[in-house]
């Protein structure tokens, strides 16, 4: 029983990363119709930034947790203004290609400066050790990640459903033309929303730094899994993306624990689930059917 | 969900017809002259470049044409074609090593394996269009990559398959110069097959589906089945290239299945010109040559350059080389009239 709880907990923690990245992808896609391939690269930059801030400037984890998302969010906004903006009227595939190119550039820039080996990042002292839950104890840092991510998702949900900004964002996601017709300046919100999505990726990166190996390629493989996650959840649905993120984290952890005879399971199960979803509900579990092709 | 299926002509609607149509409408002597120049360059290539680079260009030309068959003529951007290129490379290598068949048969076996793999992946992927199609194919290619990485008893994992023989009934092909001429007929056959597909009634239906899937369906065409057929054919041609690539390098590494390989194939096509078929061949030649130059000069961050090309091409040069030249020729031709 305690083994099951442990696996479930670990699944939720890795699911938290998927959820944060999928959430960023989903809000960006909703507002701009851009699938941001570079999302994984910004996650990597978040982790690397935290590492560089700590080792070269002595900036602690807590400060990095604020500095990196804000800094990367601003960088994302600049990027949106500079290039992505020019391509949004074209087929979304062009922005996919553009951000793919950016991924290669960002990865290689970091590789040139810091090499490919992984760098360790120490867990902040406040969060080292473990929390005792009676039957078993969990590393404090992981409990923090899970709690923090859940809080963040709830906050985003609150902003989207309870505030005026959220209303505008939702309206322009669903019917950009109609929203414009009501006299709302949709274009004004595009850049901040893009920056916000990138900021979430950077935040996920900072959170990952003490837990995972910090190296230039850490985001690349992850983003492909997150793509599968958003196909499963339905990219148009923000709730679906987050739910699928946590769900896939759970399924992976359970698969790893109970099907350990098959070493491939933890890596490939997400793609198998995606194949099943495509057969059963091509639009994704929470997605709406596209107009018939 | 805006259901924009990729149509290269959309991006430049006010501009002249696509490169391929421009060529098709050109007078007969222009077309034959272009063909003659192309063949002459292909026959001369290993005299002007390192033969090994020339071999790579041929393989990548097949890969690019396979991707363009989907991207340019069916409106589907596969971001996972490394799955077919790489699967064929591994199967070709294994068949050549263990069965000792002459290399064209090994390559054929590899390409058939790629086509077989394309059936289930294509069946699932064509359920989605546009950007989702790209994400789904990318994800399945990653699945193939993980399987190859874990299945060490067969693929040798990160060590790669070493010592793929270049056997052709005892003819000595260890010199890349002669090997180039040995594979040239196979590559030309593959390119001719792609040209034939595009200009067949089947290919016309594909273009119809690309431009207006709803209308194609209303006319009674089974859209999914057409897309799947195109996907499998494309997988076969990509597999042909991948198999030759394996024999050419006498070595297969996991790189052939990596997502960067898929992405490179797409940018080669965009650089050459989407929907121009031969543009992809030009793009392949340029990118392979450039990467060779960079790796020779000891420059390590090749991704920086290929990524930079990606960004520049997408932002400034979406029509590609062939498309730009065709548009220019069209403008000159109409001015004269």
Taking the Cβ of residue B32 and every Cβ of chain A, the question of whether any pair is shorter than 8 Å is answered with: no
Q: Is residue B277 in a domain?
A: yes
Query: Which band of pLDDT confidence, cut at 50, 70 and 90, is reported for residue B18?
Result: low
Beta strands in B154-265 (DSSP E): 161-162, 251-252
What is the distance between the alpha carbons of residues A81 and A190, in angstroms, rounded to a whole number? Answer: 10
Taking the Cβ of residue B301 and every Cβ of chain A, the question of whether any pair is shorter than 8 Å is answered with: yes
Place of tokens 């709830």: A154
Contact (CB<8Å) A108/B304: yes
Beta strands in A80-208 (DSSP E): 130-132, 137-139
Indicate which of B70, B77, B82, B143 best probes the interface with A, i.e. most A CBs within 10 Å of its own CB.
B143
Q: Which of A292, A36, A94, A33 is nearest to B6 (CA)?
A: A94
Q: Rounded to the nearest 5°, which phi and psi values hold at B259?
A: -65, -25
Q: Which of A84, A85, A111 is nearest to A97 (CA)?
A: A84
ipTM of the complex: 0.86
Three-state DSSP at B251 gives strand
Structure token pair of residue B190: 């593959």
Taking the Cβ of residue B54 and every Cβ of chain A, the question of whether any pair is shorter than 8 Å is answered with: no
Q: Is residue B2 in a domain?
A: no
Per-residue burial over B198-215, b = 16 or more CB atoms within 10 Å of its CB, e = otherwise: beeeebebbbbbbeebee
Q: Closest chain A residue to B134 measured between Cα atoms?
A: A93
Closest-CA distance, A221 to chain B, in angstroms, reads 8
Q: Which residues of B touch A102 (CB under 8 A)?
A: 307, 311
Using CB atoms within 10 Å of the CB of residue B30, give its burial: 0 to 12 exposed, 13 to 18 middle, 19+ buried.
Answer: middle
Q: Is residue B85 in a domain?
A: yes
Q: Closest chain A residue to B216 measured between Cα atoms?
A: A293
Indicate which of A96, A111, A281 best probes the interface with B, i.e. most B CBs within 10 Å of its own CB.
A96
Closest-CA distance, A93 to chain B, in angstroms, reads 6
What is the CATH number for B232? 1.10.3470
Q: Is residue A26 in a domain?
A: yes
Taking the Cβ of residue A275 and every Cβ of chain B, the question of whether any pair is shorter than 8 Å is answered with: yes
Q: Is residue B23 in a domain?
A: yes
Q: Is residue B5 in a domain?
A: no
Closest-CA distance, A46 to chain B, in angstroms, reads 20
Q: Which of A35, A41, A43 is nearest to A18 (CA)?
A: A43
Total domains, chain A: 1
Q: Is residue A120 in a domain?
A: yes
Q: Which residues of A touch B139 (CB under 8 A)?
A: 224-225, 227-228, 231, 270-271, 274
Q: Is residue A58 in a domain?
A: yes
Q: Is residue A286 in a domain?
A: no
pTM > 0.90: no
Q: Is residue B261 in a domain?
A: yes
Q: Closest chain B residue to A278 measured between Cα atoms?
A: B124
Structural domain of B217:
13-336
What is the distance between the alpha carbons of residues B333 and B337, in angstroms, rounded to a whole number? Answer: 7
Taking the Cβ of residue B300 and every Cβ of chain A, the question of whether any pair is shorter than 8 Å is answered with: yes
Contact B317, B324 (CB under 8 A): yes
Q: Is residue A199 in a domain?
A: yes
What is the distance between the alpha carbons of residues A157 and B142, in angstroms, rounded to a whole number? Answer: 32
Indicate which of B315, B319, B320 best probes the interface with A, i.e. most A CBs within 10 Å of its own CB.
B315
Selected residues 59-88 of chain B with any CB under 8 Å from a CB in chain A: 77, 79
Q: Is residue A277 in a domain?
A: no
Selected residues 247-276 of chain B with any CB under 8 Å from a CB in chain A: 259-260, 263, 266-267, 270
> In the beta sheet, which residues pair with residue A137?
A132
Taking the Cβ of residue A278 and every Cβ of chain B, the question of whether any pair is shorter than 8 Å is answered with: yes
Give tens-digit pLDDT for B57-116.
Answer: 999 999 999 999 999 888 889 999 999 999 999 999 999 888 878 888 999 999 999 999
Structural domain of A176:
2-216
CB count within 10 Å of CB B74 equals: 27
Q: Is residue B260 in a domain?
A: yes
Q: Which residues of A touch B223 (CB under 8 A)?
A: 293
Closest-CA distance, A83 to chain B, in angstroms, reads 7
Q: Is residue B313 in a domain?
A: yes
Helical residues (DSSP H) of B273-317, grouped into ranges? 278-296, 302-316
Selected residues 185-244 of chain B with any CB under 8 Å from a CB in chain A: 213-214, 217, 223
Give the N- to C-terminal CA distance of chain B in Å, as an integer.
Answer: 44
The tens place of each residue's pLDDT in chain A, 293 residues long, gives 577 888 888 899 999 999 999 999 988 888 888 889 999 999 999 999 998 888 888 888 888 889 999 999 999 999 999 888 888 788 888 889 999 999 999 998 988 888 777 777 777 777 777 777 766 778 888 888 899 999 999 999 899 889 988 888 888 877 878 888 888 888 888 899 999 999 999 999 999 988 888 888 888 889 989 998 988 988 778 888 999 999 999 998 888 888 777 777 778 888 888 888 888 887 888 876 554 33
Total domains, chain B: 1
Give the N- to C-terminal CA distance of chain A in Å, as an integer.
Answer: 48
Q: Is residue A283 in a domain?
A: no
Q: Which residues contact residue A132 at a Cβ distance below 8 angstroms, ignoring those fewer than 6 apart?
A: none
Q: Is residue A243 in a domain?
A: no
């Amino acid at each position: 029983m305690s083994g099951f709880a442990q696996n479930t907990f670990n699944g939720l923690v890795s699911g938290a990363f998927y959820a944060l990245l999928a959430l960023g992808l989903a809000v960006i896609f909703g507002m701009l119709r851009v699938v941001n391939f570079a999302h994984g690269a910004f996650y990597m930059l978040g982790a690397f930034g935290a590492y560089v801030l700590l080792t070269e400037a002595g900036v602690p984890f807590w400060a990095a947790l604020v500095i990196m998302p804000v800094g990367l969010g601003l960088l994302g906004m600049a990027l949106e203004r500079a290039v992505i903006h020019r391509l949004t009227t074209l087929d979304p595939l062009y922005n996919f290609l553009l951000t793919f190119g950016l991924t290669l550039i960002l990865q290689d820039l970091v590789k040139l400066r810091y090499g490919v080996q992984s760098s360790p990042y120490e867990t902040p002292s406040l969060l080292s050790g473990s929390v005792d839950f009676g039957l078993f104890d969990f590393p404090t840092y992981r409990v923090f990640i899970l709690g923090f991510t859940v809080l963040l998702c709830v906050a985003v949900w609150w902003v989207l459903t309870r505030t005026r900004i959220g209303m505008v964002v939702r309206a322009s996601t669903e019917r950009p033309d109609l929203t414009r017709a009501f006299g709302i300046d949709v274009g004004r919100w595009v850049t901040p929303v893009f920056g916000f999505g990138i900021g979430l990726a950077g935040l996920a990166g900072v959170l990952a730094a003490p837990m995972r190996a910090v190296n230039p390629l850490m985001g690349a493989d992850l983003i492909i899994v997150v793509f599968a996650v958003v196909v499963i959840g339905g990219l148009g649905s923000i709730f679906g993306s987050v739910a699928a993120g946590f769900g896939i984290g759970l399924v992976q952890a359970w698969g790893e624990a109970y099907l350990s005879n098959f070493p491939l399971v933890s890596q490939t199960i997400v793609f198998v689930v995606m194949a099943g979803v495509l057969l059963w509900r091509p639009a994704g579990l929470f997605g709406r059917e596209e107009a018939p092709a | 969900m805006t259901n924009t299926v990729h149509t290269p002509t959309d991006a430049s609607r006010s501009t002249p017809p696509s490169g391929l149509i421009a060529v098709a409408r050109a007078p007969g002597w222009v077309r034959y002259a272009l063909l003659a120049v192309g063949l002459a360059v292909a026959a001369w290539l290993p005299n002007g470049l390192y033969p090994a680079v020339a071999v790579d260009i041929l393989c990548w030309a097949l890969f690019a044409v396979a991707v363009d068959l989907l991207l340019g003529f069916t409106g589907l951007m596969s971001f996972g074609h490394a799955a077919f290129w790489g699967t064929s490379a591994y199967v070709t290598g294994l068949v050549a090593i263990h069965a000792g068949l002459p290399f064209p048969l090994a390559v054929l076996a590899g390409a058939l394996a790629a086509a077989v793999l394309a059936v289930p992946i294509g069946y699932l992927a064509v359920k989605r269009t546009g950007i989702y199609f790209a994400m789904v194919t990318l994800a399945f290619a990653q699945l193939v990559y993980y399987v190859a990485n874990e299945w060490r008893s067969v693929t040798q994992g990160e060590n790669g398959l070493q010592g793929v023989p270049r056997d052709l009934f005892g003819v000595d092909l260890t010199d890349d110069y002669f090997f180039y001429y040995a594979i040239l007929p196979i590559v030309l056959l593959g390119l001719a097959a792609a040209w034939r597909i595009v200009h067949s009634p089947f290919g016309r239906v594909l273009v119809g589906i690309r431009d207006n899937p709803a209308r194609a369906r209303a006319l009674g065409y089974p859209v999914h089945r057409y897309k799947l057929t195109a996907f499998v054919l494309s997988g076969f041609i990509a597999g042909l290239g991948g198999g030759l690539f394996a024999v050419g390098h006498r070595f297969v590494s996991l790189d052939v299945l990596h997502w960067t390989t898929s992405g490179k194939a797409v940018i080669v096509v965009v650089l050459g010109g989407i929907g121009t078929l031969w543009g992809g061949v030009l793009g392949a030649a340029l990118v392979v040559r450039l990467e060779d130059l960079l790796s020779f000069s000891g420059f390590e961050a090749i991704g920086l350059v290929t990524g930079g090309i990606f960004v520049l091409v997408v932002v400034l040069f979406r029509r590609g080389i062939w498309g730009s030249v065709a548009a220019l020729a069209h403008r000159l031709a109409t001015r004269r009239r």
